């Protein structure tokens, strides 16, 4: 074990270091000291959060910088603050976890009506201008109390929830108070959007009063970054929104917009009737068709008109005490981006059909970004230094290329700290979800293998299917009646709260004989949710989650092929699938004390091609089982011993 650098030791708050944690910290510290960037893979249990904080804080404190810690969930943000509090017992450090305006706001109008961060921001600004928010007004009127609170918060470490509770007593707006202290704290933990979404970033950097060059960036669970970047750069407009814009324009007596939306709706409905599921739309020709059939003249000029009228509608609605959401304004935003991306090969434009939450069929126009580096490169090229880390980043070179990180970026995979005897990884031959082999016989065989897993595991089992089609096929073939434990399963379109309730009910069986969770790879249950201890002893990965070869997917492959010759299919099709599989496989392994069995139910995982895209900690001791009954049971019973 290496001794930690002296300046890092001053910030590392624990007496003992986990296996390989010293190697991880040294790699991070060297990266920051040399003002470089690093892509580092490290599995759960390594202590990545405290390692990153300890390695970065010396440079932050000595150079009047800030550490921006990006993570996907509120729980991860709060974990950063918890570790910062441990550090504060040794060194004076400060920090906050920041949540969105809609989540921190006390104003009943926003808490009732704001559907997303953007609408919350717009409503908030309007309320402040009209002096209709007492929580904001109190900050200005109770100056002395406000300043005292800011000084207190800026000198310590607080989670967003803690700031909310303090502000509730003082009747101050917690979001505005947090904004006022952002430039004064050492560490800020928050979501990716604050730095990678261009409009949000502009506002955020203004609040920091620092340029990007004075920021050290840590991105946790960074395997999510490419998809997040794609989502940021993409947009969509549903047929429902077009219909609502038509009704809204009629209600507010905008005859030209009413006529425009009516004809646009007919155009989209006609195109939808000729589309099976998804089709590419030639953006320039579509613009010309809109101009011709709606008789508006220049679309760009009409988009400005939509914006202006939409803003007028929103102001009027707010003055009447109504939620100021304008579909006319939304339509203007969408077509402004459509026109802007018409000539850009980094985007494709599509029309696709989909099912709503109510099960009805609808359609939407989409602007689909193909290049995450359009969003990520400006950040990596401007920040002082960055640490990009996750348990599922390999191949590291692929990630660095896709996000266009600087050429001198350090790439390192840290060995797993888990004792090898705590992880059993099996690959089962004879089963697959390959499209040409999906039939009742194959699904019946997969269920037989799943039965072996459930009967030979002491408590809870997770089963993550390649897609909802596969999940539903397992249900149709009778998996619920075949297994010996209660089954909880995800459903298409399940809302976040419904999914959370499902997970909690499943976890409650950990000490009651066990249950089975059936979800999909890449879904809410298989990413971002932890199942320590008996909450998930075994996980079965059913199939390789390759995307359906839609026009969007094919366009992604073609785009990457142009950027990275001979690697288009690998970057645009294979890597995303294997990342989902790896994330799902890692659900049972969360703490160093956990013992978990990973069972891959698809013979394709036995190939060297698939395995090279899996993290080292998963592939290092993989055992391939021949196509025989009872072998899974035998392996699991030996692994779990007397507990089964």
Measured in residues, the chain has a length of 644
Give the residue carrying structure tokens 């069986």.
509
CB-CB contact of 13 with 7 (8 Å): no
Q: Can you tell me the distance from the alpha carbon of 417 to that of 57, in angstroms, rounded to the nearest whole number?
A: 24
At 266-309, the pLDDT tens digits run 999 999 999 989 999 999 999 999 999 999 989 999 999 999 99
Entry pTM = 0.90
N-terminal to C-terminal alpha carbon distance within the chain: 37
Q: Tell me, letter by letter, the H, E, C secondary structure of 490-506.
A: CCCCCCHHHHHHHHHHH
Which residue ranges form the domains of the chain, and what is each CATH number? 6-106+134-230+374-413 (3.40.50.300), 233-369 (1.10.275.40), 420-643 (3.40.50.300)
* pLDDT, position 448: 97
* pLDDT, position 1: 65
Residue 385 neighbours by CB distance under 10 Å: 21
At 414-471, the pLDDT tens digits run 988 888 889 999 999 999 999 999 999 999 999 999 999 999 999 999 999 999 999 9
Closest CA to 543 of 435, 423, 444, 394: 435
At 529-559, the pLDDT tens digits run 889 889 999 999 999 999 999 999 999 999 9
The number of CA neighbours under 13 Å toward the Cβ of 21 is 24
The neighbouring-strand residues paired with 68 are 188, 217
Please tell me whether residue 417 adopts helix, strand or coil conformation: coil
The neighbouring-strand residues paired with 542 are 465, 601
Burial of 202 (0-12, 13-18, 19+ CB in 10 A): exposed
* pLDDT, position 119: 67
Q: Can you tell me the distance from the alpha carbon of 437 to that of 426, in angstroms, rounded to the nearest whole number?
A: 21
Give the residue carrying structure tokens 């001791």.
621
pLDDT band (50, 70, 90) for residue 633: very high
Please tell me whether residue 232 adopts helix, strand or coil conformation: helix
At 6-64, the pLDDT tens digits run 999 999 999 999 999 999 999 999 999 999 999 999 988 889 999 999 999 999 999 99
pLDDT over 90 at 88, yes or no: yes
Contacts of 79 (CB under 8 A, 6+ apart): 49, 71
At 152-161, the pLDDT tens digits run 999 999 999 9
At 301-337, the pLDDT tens digits run 999 999 999 999 988 887 777 777 899 999 999 999 9
CB-CB contact of 45 with 589 (8 Å): yes
Q: Tell me, letter by letter, the H, E, C secondary structure of 502-553.
A: HHHHHHHHHHCCCCEEEEECCCCCCCCCCCCHHHCCEEEEECCCCCCCCHHH
Percent of the chain with pLDDT over 90: 77
* pLDDT, position 617: 85
Contacts of 287 (CB under 8 A, 6+ apart): 299, 338, 339, 342
pLDDT over 80 at 211, yes or no: yes
Write 508-512 long-range contacts (CB < 8 A, 24+). Answer: 509/459, 509/460, 509/485, 510/459, 510/460, 510/534, 510/535, 511/459
Please tell me whether residue 629 adopts helix, strand or coil conformation: coil
The number of CA neighbours under 13 Å toward the Cβ of 229 is 22
pLDDT band (50, 70, 90) for residue 111: low
Q: Can you tell me the distance from the alpha carbon of 25 to that of 389, in angstroms, rounded to the nearest whole number?
A: 12
At 379-429, the pLDDT tens digits run 999 999 999 999 889 899 999 999 999 999 999 999 888 888 899 999 999
Q: Can you tell me the distance from the alpha carbon of 372 to that of 385, in angstroms, rounded to the nearest whole number?
A: 19
- CA angle 48-411-622, nearest 5°? 75
H runs (alpha helix) in 114-191: 117-129, 134-141, 143-154, 160-170, 174-181
pLDDT over 90 at 524, yes or no: no
The mean pLDDT of 76-89, rounded to a whole number, is 95
Closest CA to 217 of 251, 246, 194: 194
* pLDDT, position 246: 97
* pLDDT, position 106: 79
* pLDDT, position 643: 59
| Inter-CA distances, 40 with 59, 150, 412, 526, 536, Å | 19, 36, 5, 22, 27
Helix orientation angle between 174-181 and 134-141, rounded to the nearest 10 degrees: 50
* pLDDT, position 417: 86
Enter the DSSP assignment of 329. H
Maximum C-alpha span of the chain: 77
Burial of 334 (0-12, 13-18, 19+ CB in 10 A): buried
What six digits make up the tokens of 472? 């539903």
| Inter-CA distances, 173 with 100, 110, 145, 490, Å | 13, 12, 13, 37
């Amino acid at each position: 074990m290496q001794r930690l650098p002296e300046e890092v030791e001053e910030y590392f708050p624990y007496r003992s270091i986990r296996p390989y944690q010293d190697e991880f910290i040294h790699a991070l510290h060297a990266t920051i000291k040399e003002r470089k960037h690093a892509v580092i893979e490290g599995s759960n249990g390594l202590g990545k959060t405290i390692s990153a904080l300890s390695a970065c804080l010396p440079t932050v404190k000595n150079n009047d910088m800030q550490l921006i810690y990006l993570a996907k969930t509120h729980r991860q943000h709060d974990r950063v603050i918890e570790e910062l509090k441990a550090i504060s017992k040794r060194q004076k450090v400060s920090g906050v976890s920041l949540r969105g305006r809609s989540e921190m706001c006390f104003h009943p109008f926003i808490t009732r009506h704001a559907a997303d961060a953007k609408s919350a921001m717009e409503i908030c600004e309007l309320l402040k201008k009209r002096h209709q928010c007492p929580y904001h007004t109190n900050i200005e009127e109770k100056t002395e109390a406000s300043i005292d609170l800011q000084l207190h918060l800026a000198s310590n470490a607080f989670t967003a929830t803690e700031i909310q509770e303090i502000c509730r007593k003082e009747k101050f707006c917690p979001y505005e108070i947090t904004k006022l202290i952002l430039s004064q704290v050492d560490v800020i933990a928050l979501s990716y959007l604050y730095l990678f979404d261009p409009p949000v970033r502009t506002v955020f950097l203004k609040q920091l009063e620092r340029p990007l060059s004075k920021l050290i960036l840590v991105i946790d669970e960074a395997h999510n970054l490419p998809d997040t970047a794609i989502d940021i750069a993409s947009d969509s407009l549903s047929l429902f929104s077009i219909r609502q814009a038509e009704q809204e324009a009629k209600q507010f007596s905008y005859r030209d917009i009413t006529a425009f939306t009516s004809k646009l709706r007919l155009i989209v409905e006609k195109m939808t009737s000729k589309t099976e599921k998804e089709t590419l739309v030639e953006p320039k020709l579509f613009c010309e068709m809109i101009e011709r059939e709606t008789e508006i003249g220049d679309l760009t000029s009409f988009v400005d008109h939509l914006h202006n009228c939409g803003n007028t509608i929103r102001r009027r609605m707010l003055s009447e005490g109504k939620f100021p959401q304008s579909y006319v304004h939304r339509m203007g935003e969408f077509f402004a981006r459509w026109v802007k991306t018409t000539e850009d090969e980094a985007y494709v434009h599509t029309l696709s059909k989909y099912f709503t939450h109510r099960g009805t069929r609808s359609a939407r126009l989409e602007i689909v970004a193909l290049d995450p580096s359009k969003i990520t490169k400006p950040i990596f090229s401007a920040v002082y230094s960055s640490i990009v880390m996750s348990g599922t980043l390999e191949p590291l070179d692929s990630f660095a290329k896709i996000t266009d990180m600087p050429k001198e970026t350090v790439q390192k995979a840290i060995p797993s700290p888990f004792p090898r005897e705590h992880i059993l990884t099996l690959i089962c031959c004879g089963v697959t979800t390959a499209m040409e082999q999906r039939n009742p016989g194959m699904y019946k065989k997969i269920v037989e293998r799943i039965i072996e897993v459930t009967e030979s595991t002491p408590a809870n089992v997770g089963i993550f299917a390649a897609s909802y089609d596969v999940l539903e096929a397992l249900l149709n073939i009778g998996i619920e009646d075949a297994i010996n434990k209660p089954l909880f399963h995800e459903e298409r379109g399940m809302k976040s709260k419904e999914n959370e309730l499902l997970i909690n009910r499943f976890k409650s069986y950990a000490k009651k004989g066990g249950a089975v969770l059936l979800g999909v790879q890449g879904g809410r249950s298989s990413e971002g949710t932890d199942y320590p201890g008996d909450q998930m002893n075994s996980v079965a990965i059913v199939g390789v989650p390759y995307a359906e070869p839609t026009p969007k997917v094919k366009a992604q492959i073609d785009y990457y092929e142009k950027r990275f010759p001979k690697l288009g299919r690998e970057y645009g099709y294979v890597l995303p699938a294997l990342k989902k599989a790896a994330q799902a496989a890692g659900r049972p392994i969360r703490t160093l004390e956990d013992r978990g069995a990973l069972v891959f139910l698809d013979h394709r995982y036995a190939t060297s091609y698939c395995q090279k895209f899996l993290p080292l900690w998963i592939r290092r001791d993989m055992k391939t089982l021949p196509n025989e009954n009872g072998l899974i049971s035998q392996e699991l019973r030996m692994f779990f011993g007397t507990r089964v």
